[in-house]
Structure 1
Amino acid sequence: MNTFDLALQQLKEKGYKKTKQRERIIEIFASHDQYVPAKKILQDMQEEFPSVSFDTIYRNLYLLSRENMLEATELEGEKHFRLSCGTGHHHHHFICTDCGKTKLIEFCPMESMEEDLKGYEVENHKFEIYGKCPQCG
């Protein structure tokens, strides 16, 4: 099953309506293997839905993020989103600062920090590496 169909199936399983706007948002993400800024989603959406508001886009982006269907990061002071990798295991990303493409990183640096954090209860963490991919470098 492709990422588009999988995301639509997850929406249905979680009890959310399959609207044309949500379907289009997921379609946009499925066509990009990278983080995409919310502004770009709005621009793409306005081609088909000229009256769609930024609030509607953000509500849907945060709904999909809350349901772990999208991953979010902040680049240059702006939220960017991508379809969740769906790997089913803990991982991190390298993010190209030019084109936004990502590369999966299996290694987690938290494993080497256990000694430094004795007595601390880590609830969550985020680790991203930024730079230029081979095509942009």
Structure 2
Amino acid sequence: MEQMTLLEKALVKVKENGFKYTKKRETLLDYLIKRNRYVSAREVYDYLNEQFPGLSYDTVYRNLREFCEIGLIEDTELQGEMKFRFSCSGNFEHHHHFICTVCGKTKEIYMCPMNFFEEQLSGCEIEGHRFELYGRCENCQKLNE
């Protein structure tokens, strides 16, 4: 049996969550998959506007937010701006990141510190969390030398 690509899996998830297929949505997801890092909504808009002249920035931003809500895209605030990336887990599973503050490159972190915090917060109900480490990746450190 053939393996589905990340884009194909993403488009299935889009449909399962009640969104219509459009070439613009496919192109948005494909762009994020290929970039494989956090990018600004403006970067996504600029790319899509080249492909689909006249496309509204609000439409791009709304799609990014909606795809975040269904777990297809991850968001973070980096240097005072919201950034987005395709969920790096093919199964859209829980994970954390190291994020380069210069280029936006990310590395997955394969452990979750929540057990430590849950022990210290007995009696509290934790409704969610986000754990990200920020710094400079190997390539950006070399550029500063």
- The answer for unaligned runs of 5 or more in structure 1 is none
> How much does 1:4 deviate?
1.3
> How much does 1:13 deviate?
2.4
> How much does 1:115 deviate?
2.8
Structure 1 residue 30 corresponds to structure 2 residue 6: no
**How far apart, CA to CA, are the structure 2 residues paired with 1:23 and 1:88?**
17
Q: Which runs of 4+ in 1 moved over 6 A?
A: none
Hey, what does 2:15 align to over in structure 1? 12
Hey, what does 1:117 align to over in structure 2? 121
Q: How does 1:56-75 map to 2 (within 5 A)?
A: 56-75=59-78
The range that moved more, 15-24 or 68-77, is 15-24
Instruction: Report the AA paired with residue 114 of structure 1.
Output: E
**How far apart, CA to CA, are the structure 2 residues paired with 1:88 and 1:24?**
19
| Amino-acid identity (%) | 47
Structure 1 residue 108 corresponds to structure 2 residue 117: no
**How far apart, CA to CA, are the structure 2 residues paired with 1:38 and 1:21?**
14
Hey, what does 1:131 align to over in structure 2? 135
Change beyond 3 A, Cα 1:89–1:18:
closer
The range that moved more, 88-97 or 69-78, is 88-97
> How much does 1:132 deviate?
0.8
Greater fraction of residues in helix? 2
Structure 1 residue 53 corresponds to structure 2 residue 56: yes
**How far apart, CA to CA, are the structure 2 residues paired with 1:111 and 1:134?**
30
Q: How many residues align?
A: 137
> How much does 1:9 deviate?
1.6
Hey, what does 1:96 align to over in structure 2? 100
The range that moved more, 110-119 or 39-48, is 110-119
- The answer for unaligned runs of 5 or more in structure 2 is none
Instruction: Work out whether residues 39 and 83 of structure 2, in 8 Å CA contact, stay in contact via their aligned partners in 1.
Output: yes
**How far apart, CA to CA, are the structure 2 residues paired with 1:13 and 1:51?**
28
Hey, what does 2:24 align to over in structure 1? 21
Instruction: Report the AA paired with residue 69 of structure 2.
Output: R
Partner deviation per Cα, 1:78-111 (whole Å, 9 max, x = no partner)? 1111111234543210001111111110121221
TM-score, normalised relative to structure 1: 0.93
Change beyond 3 A, Cα 1:49–1:63:
same
Hey, what does 1:40 align to over in structure 2? 43
